[in-house]
Structure 1
C-alpha cells in the first residue's frame, strides 16, 4: 500500500514537471494582439497548467505556474527585472485557480464552464490591478487617468479576454482527449 502511494506521488511529480516544461516551451511562442500595446503578448503556456489543475486540483496548477516562471528565468533570464515573471505568475493563477477550484468540486461540463466564466472575470480584475498598480509603476510608465483608462479598456480587457478564451477553448478540447491517457482520470467534461 505504501509503495503504491509512493509510486503515484512520483508519477504525479513527473507529470507536473513535464507540464511545467511544456509551459516553458510554449512561452517562446508569443505574439502581440493589440498593435497599440505591443508588449501585451499572448502565449499559451497556461494551457498545460490548467490541464494539470483540472486533473489534480488548483494547487497543482499554481505549482505549474510557479515552475514555469522559475524555469523560464533559468533558461532565458529576465528582461524585466523579474516584474514580467511575477506578473505572469499572478495573472496565470488568477486564471487557473478559480477555474480549477470550481471544476474540481463537482467535475462536470457545467462546473467547467462556470469555472471558466469565473476565471475569465478573475483574470480581468487581476490584470487591471496588477498592471495599473504594479507593472506600470515598476516600468516607470507615467500615465494620466485618460491614458490609463484607454490602456485598460483598449489594451488589457481585450488582451486578457482573448487569452482566457484561447486557453479555455484549447484546454477544453485537449483535456477531453488526453485526460485518460496521460492523467489517468476521467475528463468529466461530457457530464452535464
Structure 2
C-alpha cells in the first residue's frame, strides 16, 4: 500500500490513511502540558473585580489552533481544564473557561484558514472575540446562579460594569499576545 504524500515524512502515523503523525501528537501533548501549567497562572487584571482572574492558557490553545487547525486547538483547550478539575473541584468555573476559550479560538482559526494572511487573522480574532464575549456573558447568566449565592438579577447588574470589561480585557490579551507570537511559534512547531 502506498503511503500518502502528506504522511511520507513520518512513518509513525497513527493510521494507514495518514492520521496524525507522531510529531504532531507529541507537539499537541506538549502544548496541552504547557496549557495545563498556564491554567495555574491566575492574574487579577480587573481591579473592580479581583476575584475574576486571567490565565494565559488560552494563548497556548490559540497558537495550536492557528498552527494545526481548530481541532487541535480544541484539544489544547479542553484536556488541560478537564485535568485541572482533578486538582481543583471548580467544575463550573472550568466549564466556563472551556466555553470562553473555544468560542474565541474556533471561529478565529476557521476564519484565519479561509482568509489568509494578517487580514484573516485580524478578522478571525474580531469574530472570535465577539463570539467569546457573548458566550462568556451567557455562561455567567446561566452558570453563576447555579454555583454561587448570586442571583440572576445580580449577574445582570454586573454585565456592564464588571463582566463586559473583564472579558474584553481577557480577549484582547489573548489576541494581542497570540498575534505577536503565533507566526514564529507556528513555524517552529510545524518545522
TM-score by length of 2: 0.86
Q: Measure how far apart 1:143 and its partner are.
A: 4.5
Match among 14, 20, 25 for residue 13 of structure 1: 25
Gaps of 5+ in 1: 185-192
Q: Measure how far apart 1:183 and its partner are.
A: 2.2
Q: Measure how far apart 1:5 and its partner are.
A: 5.8
- 1:174 match: 181
- 1:187 match: none
Sort the Cα spacing of 1:148 and 1:73 in 2 relative to 1 into closer, same or farther, 3 A: closer
* Matched ranges for 1:110-129 at <5 A: 110-129=119-138
SS in 1 for 2:12: helix
User: For residues 11 and 116 of structure 2, what CA distance do their matches in structure 1 show?
Assistant: 23
- Are 1:37 and 2:49 matched, yes or no? yes
- Are 1:161 and 2:168 matched, yes or no? yes
User: For residues 42 and 163 of structure 1, what CA distance do their matches in structure 2 show?
Assistant: 6
User: For residues 63 and 135 of structure 1, what CA distance do their matches in structure 2 show?
Assistant: 25
Equivalent residues of 1:65, 1:92 under 8 A apart: yes
Q: Measure how far apart 1:102 and its partner are.
A: 0.4
TM-score by length of 1: 0.85
User: For residues 123 and 37 of structure 1, what CA distance do their matches in structure 2 show?
Assistant: 19
User: For residues 116 and 45 of structure 2, what CA distance do their matches in structure 1 show?
Assistant: 33
Sort the Cα spacing of 1:5 and 1:89 in 2 relative to 1 into closer, same or farther, 3 A: farther
Matched length: 179
SS in 1 for 2:47: coil
4+ residue stretches of structure 1 with deviation over 6 A? none
Larger deviation: 175-184 or 99-108? 175-184
User: For residues 54 and 145 of structure 2, what CA distance do their matches in structure 1 show?
Assistant: 18
User: For residues 150 and 36 of structure 1, what CA distance do their matches in structure 2 show?
Assistant: 14
Greater RCO (CA < 8 Å, at least 6 residues apart): 1
